[in-house]
Structure 1
Amino acid sequence: MAVLSGLLTGALLLLTAPMAHAEGDGLVRQEVTFRGGRGLVLHGTVLSNNGPPGAKPGIVLVGGSGSGPREEYRQEAEAFARAGITTLVYDKRTIGYSLLHRDFGLLADDAVAGVRLLQSRSGVNPRQVGLWGFSEGGWVAPLAAARSTDVAFVVTIGGSGYDPLRTQTWNLATHLRHQGVGAPFRRTVAGPAAQFVASTGRFPAAGYDPLPALERLHRTPVLALWGDHDTQVPPQESAQVFREALARAGNRHAVIGFVAGGAHNGHRTSDGFDRIGGPPFHGKKLGELAPGYAQTMTSWVRAVAAGHPPASSAAAAPGQALATTPVPGHTWYAWLAPALLLLGFAAYPVSALLRRGPVLRPVRWLAGLGLLAVVATVACSIAVFVAGDGVAAPVVWGRPALWLVAQGLAVAVLVSACLSAVALRRRPLTWNRAAWLRLAPVGLAAVGFLPWAVWWGLAA
């Protein structure tokens, strides 16, 4: 009975185990599951070729921001596998990761778990399994390598040298410029709007600093690449940050390079804003791999696996039309100022409900227009961070149409303030407690509105 039971158990395991299958392209694919950070079960595919036997290097692909289904990185996975590099590509976690929450440490744990999965497979050299990180993965992969000695090497494409908020601010400014939006509104997005977003604490991982992880990679070979038409992270500045951080770490095998004709993802583009060829993904073209992109990565990985990691070098960086703008942290004044203005303007209609103090029509207009102007100003610029640069359309005179509305409201506030001052001079009032409580808040709000409007770029 014991023998029969063992045979039945073995048969069941064989029936339920993931089966490897080869397709017409000569690659072998096997569906796998593994436990990532905090024990979450992740699903992926291991790809390999039917080449000669022997221990091969392995690589785990770490995707960019968003839901990150593995299909998005099929072209890269197949390119590595065809080159004899066993590849794991997996679906990003949906638990512990959302639009408003990012935990790069947790994502790094997932990546290290993927490395250990490949290390346990026959035909893979457990000492030569590394990470490939795209975009957000350019923060995650170095962090995983800094945490675990199991990571033998790191390849990044489109990794940012700055924190996520500064990176996103540059990304938005670059895309707004492409849409024809002028410098004044772009300065608003990169300045007060970004500081307001930071002050809310709702931008995910806004202040994550990639430098500590990079500076711990003193022995791990690194290949850091950027498309020369990258429009989502600043390629020139990021390359400099990577190069200097890895040099401080004493890393003698850090190669900094650029993909000719490559977009943010290293795929073909004409200007960074389009994608040429390639399979569709979520209704949009991914673009095919730029010429030489896959060859650059695979040849470098094979050299590292052969024990000959290339010496540190840095290619000449392409031009970068816009410079990044640092976003100060803990900018409490960014939300406090509009909050006080709203309170000041709202005090007048609230006191009207309580029937306290004098009623003046110009002041009534001032309070109403002031409320609208503050809300419109903040909402218009913050909407770019929430919904992307598409909300800037249509563009009129180098400004989003909604921003022109906010500027018009600002002018109306100033006109109303002047008319209110004239009305107060012409109408004698008894300045009792009720009058002060009704008129002082809106008056102070009107005075404070002018410098605030100038800071937010409404005057430009």
Structure 2
Amino acid sequence: MFRRIILLTIMIAAVTGAPVASAQHTTTVDITFTRTDGTTTNGTVHAPVDATGRPGVVLVHGSGDGTGEHYDLVAAAFARAGIVALRYDKRTEGYTPAHRDYSLLADDALAGLAALRDRAEVDPARVGLWGLSEGGWVAPLAASRSADASFLITVGANSVAPAVQQTWANETRFGTAGVRGSMVDVLARNGIRQLVAAGQFAQADYDPIPVLERITQPVLAIWGDQDRLTPPGDSLRDFQATFDRVGKTDYTLRILPNAQHGGQPTTDGFDKLPGLVPEYGELMGEWVNGLPASATPPSADQPPAQGHSAQPPAPARWWESTAVQLSLLFGVLLTMAGYAVTGMVKSWRLVDRGPARVLLGTTTVGIVGTVIMLGYVLTTRATSFGPLLFGRTLPWLALQLIAVAAVLALGVVLARARHTLSGASAGARARWVLLVCGGTGFLLWALYWGLLLP
């Protein structure tokens, strides 16, 4: 009689979607499936041993090439919870910082969904999508297009556009490190604005809110309370406000304590300790296995504290355009190079060469050093910047002092113009004009990039 009761309970759970016991033994199998454009990609299915008719989930990648053990950790957590998970190889052709197509990536996710629904391990009526970080833009887009996706899970998803998110992340890592002033104002914000203006920031203005408004599936959205890449408080509030505005009644918004962007343990939000936080896999397993009841009534945790709210960067004005900025930069370099090269003609040399040499050297070092530092900030996620002085890193402070020296040298060159040009040849006068034009251009450039700001 006792065995019959257990068997009846399992059968009822399978029919009603009630939670079932976790599967301690899991297995993996490699598959290949065709994407909507006719190309193929590989994937790995993580499943409980001897699984049939289980819920399924397709893992949609964050930014990057989609490799790394994190997706295996998540897929294994799903499998232990009795849920079949598909991890597939991300499309990397044509995927660069300057170009990526969320619509195409969403189609890839739906191709994975179709492949998983065809497998005997899963119940095709209970297969959904999971998206991490960038996948928090892509997976909702895929779900909004599909009647086959039965649920949506996002982790570290943004309610703001990518350019806003990246600006907030830059400001956050600078602020956490104790950096303040012009280095934050300029490097954390102007760098992003320049990339957007130059068309080198893919999907910079993508707005996720209209997509969230179209989601009909139950949604589980998760954020780590120590997330330093996505503004977790802003995003949770915006998700809830959006769902409530359209009358959605089947959503669950959760905050994982002591977790970073991807749901891993952390000490400060920037490092990643091994594994996943304990609540993570359990939360997703219980929620998926308990659908539809687990998503209703709608519920939301309290938004975690943020150092500051995410704000859109101001649009670039005409004089901040890529064309103007590059013209100014190369104009300074060319005029200074012209001054240096023409100095080979002895009769064209200036009588008062000391200040000119200082101006030439400081502008060159200032430009090269700032470009290197800007590139470092935009291409890395460094959170430690070494010793600080007056809220500035030592390299930035050095660049500011170099810029001040350049301005002082320009002032001396202008103040001594009558003495320098008295009796000078036409070639010497032309070189002086080149020097002053280059120094003035550097002054304007240094102001925009914060070298002369507090």
The TM-score with structure 1 as length reference comes to 0.82
Matches of 1:391 and 1:274, distance apart in 2:
12
Structure 1 residue runs without a partner (length 5+): 1-23, 277-286
Letter in 2 for 1:199: A
Q: Which amino acid aligns with 1:210?
A: P
* Deviation larger for 319-328 or 391-400: 391-400
Residues 68-114 of structure 1: CA deviation (Å, up to 9, x unaligned): 22632222212222222221112223323245432222211111011
Q: Secondary structure at the match of 2:269?
A: coil
Give the residue type in structure 2 aligned to 1:188.
V
What residue number does 1:47 align with? 46
Report how far residue 438 of structure 1 moved.
4.3
1:271 aligns with one of 262, 268, 272: 268
Residues 195 and 375 of structure 1: is their aligned pair in 2 closer, same or farther, counting only changes over 3 Å? farther
Aligned residues: 424
**Corresponding residue to 1:77 among 75, 78, 91:** 75
Superposed CA deviations along residues 27-47 of structure 1, whole A, max 9, x for unmatched, are 132211112242332211212
Q: Distance in 2 between matches of 1:457 and 1:398?
A: 14
Give 1:21-420 correspondences, 5 Å limit.
25-50=24-49, 55-69=53-67, 71-217=69-215, 219-276=216-273, 287-304=274-291, 306=292, 309-329=295-315, 333-334=319-320, 335=322, 336-337=324-325, 339-344=327-332, 346-350=334-338, 353=341, 359=350, 360-361=352-353, 362-389=355-382, 392-393=385-386, 395-420=388-413
Task: Give, in angstroms, the shift of residue 296 of structure 1.
Answer: 1.7
Distance 1:307 1:254 in 2: 11
Measure, in 2, the Cα distance between the counterparts of 1:309 and 1:388. Answer: 35
Report which stretch shifted further, 114-123 or 362-371.
362-371
Q: Quick one: structure 1 residues 352 and 31, their matched pair in 2 at CA, closer, same or farther if it must change by over 3 Å?
A: closer
**d(CA) in 2 for partners of 1:162 and 1:450?**
35
Could you tell me how far 1:385 is from its partner in structure 2? Answer: 0.5
Provide the C-alpha distance between the structure 2 equivalents of 1:103 and 1:300, rounded to a whole number of angstroms.
30
In 1, Cα distance between equivalents of 2:396 and 2:210: 39
Instruction: Tell me, in whole angstroms, the C-alpha distance in 2 between the residues paired with 1:261 and 1:349.
Output: 54
Question: Quick check: 1:58–1:124 contact (8 Å CA) kept in 2?
Answer: yes
- In structure 1, C-alpha distance between the alignment counterparts of 2:217 and 2:428, rounded to whole Å: 71
Task: Between the two structures, name the one with larger relative contact order (CA 8 Å, sep ≥ 6).
Answer: 2
Code of the residue aligned with 1:169 in structure 2: it is T
Q: Separation in 2 of the partners of 1:376 and 1:399? A: 15
**What residue number does 1:3 align with?**
none
**Deviation sequence 1:256-309 (CA, Å, 0-9, x none):** 221112111112222212333xxxxxxxxxx222132222212221232x5663
Say whether the 8 Å CA contact 1:369–1:409 is kept in structure 2: yes
Q: Is the 8 A contact 1:227 1:264 kept in 2?
A: yes
Q: Compute the displacement of 1:417 (Å).
A: 1.0
Contact 2:150–2:217, Cα closer than 8 Å, also in 1 = yes
Whole-Å Cα distance in 1 between the matches of residues 311 and 422 of structure 2? 49
Give the deviation of 1:363 after TM superposition.
3.4
Letter in 1 for 2:298: S
Compared with structure 1, are the counterparts of its residues 86 and 52 closer, same or farther at alpha carbon in structure 2 (3 Å cutoff)? closer
In the alignment, the residues of structure 1 paired with residue 114 and residue 317 of structure 2 have an alpha-carbon distance, to the nearest angstrom, of 42
Q: Which of 435, 439, 456 in structure 1 is aligned with 2:449? A: 456
Partner SS, residue 248 of structure 2 = coil
Q: Which amino acid aligns with 2:335?
A: A
Q: CA deviation at 1:341?
A: 4.7
Answer with 403-412 or 237-246: which moved more: 237-246
1:340 is aligned with what amino acid?
A: L
User: In the superposition, relative to structure 1, how do residues 414 and 249 fare at CA in structure 2: closer, same or farther (>3 Å)?
Assistant: same
Counterpart of 2:290 in 1: which secondary structure? helix
Structure 1 residues 250 and 429: alpha-carbon distance in aligned structure 2, compared to 1, 3 A threshold: farther
User: 1 CA distance for matches of 2:262 and 2:219?
Assistant: 18
Q: Distance in 1 between matches of 2:318 and 2:141?
A: 30
Which residue is 1:422 aligned to? 415
Q: Aligned equivalents of 1:377 and 1:315: distance in 2?
A: 43
SS of corresponding position for 2:374: helix
Decide whether the 8 Å contact of 2:191 with 2:374 is kept in 1: yes
| Larger displacement relative to structure 2 (289-298 or 180-189) | 180-189
Q: Note the C-alpha offset of 1:173.
A: 2.7
User: Deviation at 1:149?
Assistant: 2.0
Contact 2:339-2:434 at 8 Å conserved across structures: no
| Contact kept? 1:366, 1:413, Cα under 8 Å | yes
Residues 346 and 371, structure 1, Cα contact 8 Å, conserved in 2: no
Whether the aligned pair in 1 keeps the contact of 2:421 and 2:429 (CA below 8 Å) is: no
Shift of residue 228, structure 1, vs aligned partner: 0.6
Q: Secondary structure at the match of 1:292?
A: helix
1:47 partner letter: H
Query: Tell me, what secondary structure is at the counterpart of 1:108?
Result: helix
Moved more, 42-51 or 426-435: 426-435
Equivalent residues of 2:58, 2:112 under 8 A apart:
yes
RMSD of the alignment, in Å?
2.9
Q: How far did residue 224 of structure 1 move?
A: 1.0
Give the conservation status (yes or no) of the 8 Å contact 2:270–2:383: no
Residues 58 and 113, structure 2, Cα contact 8 Å, conserved in 1: yes
Distance 1:52 1:338, change over 3 A: closer
Percent identity of equivalent pairs: 36
2:409 & 2:128 partners in 1: Cα distance? 64
Shift of 1:439: 4.1
Q: Give CA-to-partner distance per residue, 1:122-175, whole Å, 9 cap, x none.
A: 242222211011111111101111222222211011112222232222223322
